[in-house]
A and B are shown apart, each in its own frame.
Chain A
Amino acid sequence: MINEIFLMNGYGLYVWSAFLFTFLSFVSLYALIKIQYVRERDKFIKKFGILNSEKAAIAGSQSINKEILSNITI
């Protein structure tokens, strides 16, 4: 049973490499987009932190800014 799943009548190398390539592409794309997202969010938090109280109040009044500052897990 295990042998059949891995070897697949001699086609295992082709099948597993196709699935592995797909999996690696998914992981790479996810990681790349996640890095971009975290970088932009951190930049936003940093910029927001150095605003004076008046500007921070203006920026904080926008709902989208509050959403960004709230803890977004993904």
Chain B
Amino acid sequence: MFKYFEPNKIFSITSKAPKYVLISFIIVLSIGLVEALILSPEDYKQSHSVRIMYVHVPAAWISLGIFSFITVLSIIGYIFKIKNFFLISKSLAPSGFVFNIIALVTGSIWGKPTWGTWWAWDARITSMFILALFYLLYLIAWRIYKDDEKVFKITSIITIVGIINVPIIKYSVDWWSTLHQPASINLLSKSSIHASMLFPLMIMTAAFALFSILIFLMKYNTELIKIKNKGLDRL
């Protein structure tokens, strides 16, 4: 089955896909921005500041999703020695890190009018900050270590240790008394968010997901060309 993940086979698709993903991203983002900034209602308590949610929440979801995915790929890649899984993980990490930073900064901007402070070392914010550090460590490891075996091992360890933090982020608002509000959207029970706000949130999440796919494809193609450059040197 894993032969289908060979870079040579994948490249013919990934080299053509970015332009379609970019067009889809621009369309979905445009709809999302109109919904988020103009059509969606203001909150009865937070007024218009609630609109920050439409960038803050999707960014946080995607950064958590990418880190979890990277961990799964790294573990499978390490066990079955699939180099391409590490290449995919490496290509996903930059967008995951940037979404993590967006979640932290927009959360901080949202915190000022809502809590009266830009930053608080509460459980949710601190655990998201720790996730950003794990992303940073992961990206630095790829820059520092040139030996494949070593970098695969070290990045796998970073993701395995870092994944412990993911459920802490998720449940921090339930386990501890935090400034951050509990989750408004639950997959297993009824969400406390109104449909008029849920719809733009989902559109913006789709737009952000498309952007992360776009960045992944471009980065992945770059990594493949890098490998091919080394191949030409050996000819």
Given A5-B37, A48-B232, A67-B12, A33-B94 contact (CB < 8 Å): yes
B interface secondary structure, majority: helix
Which bucket holds chain B's interface residue count? Answer: 35 or more
Residue A53 at the B interface, CB < 8 A?
Answer: no
Residue B59 at the A interface, CB < 8 A?
Answer: yes
User: Whole-angstrom distance between the alpha carbons of A32 and B95 in the complex?
Assistant: 11
**B49 with A25: CB separation less than 8 A:** no
Q: How many A-B residue pairs have CB under 8 A?
A: 119
Taking a contact as CB atoms closer than 8 A, the residue among A12, A19, A40 that contacts B226 in the complex is A40
**A29 with B8: CB separation less than 8 A:** no
Taking a contact as CB atoms closer than 8 A, the residue among A18, A33, A36, A55 that contacts B55 in the complex is A18
Kindly list chain B residues whose C-beta atoms are within 8 Å of the C-beta of A22. 55, 59, 102, 106
- Min distance, Cβ B144 to any Cβ of chain A, angstroms: 18
**B49 with A14: CB separation less than 8 A:** yes
Contacts A18-B52, A18-B109, A62-B8 aside, 20 further interface pairs with beta carbons under 8 A come to: A8-B47, A9-B42, A11-B51, A21-B109, A22-B55, A22-B102, A25-B102, A26-B98, A26-B211, A30-B215, A33-B218, A40-B226, A43-B229, A44-B229, A55-B235, A59-B235, A63-B8, A64-B8, A72-B221, A74-B18
User: B: which residues have CB within 8 A of A?
Assistant: 7-8, 11-12, 15-16, 18-19, 22, 33, 37-38, 42, 47-49, 51-52, 55-56, 59, 94-95, 98, 101-102, 105-106, 109-110, 112-113, 211, 214-215, 218-219, 221-222, 224-226, 228-229, 231-233, 235
Chain A to chain B: the 10 pairs with minimum beta-carbon distance, closest first: A8-B48, A74-B18, A11-B48, A18-B106, A11-B49, A40-B225, A37-B222, A18-B52, A22-B55, A47-B232
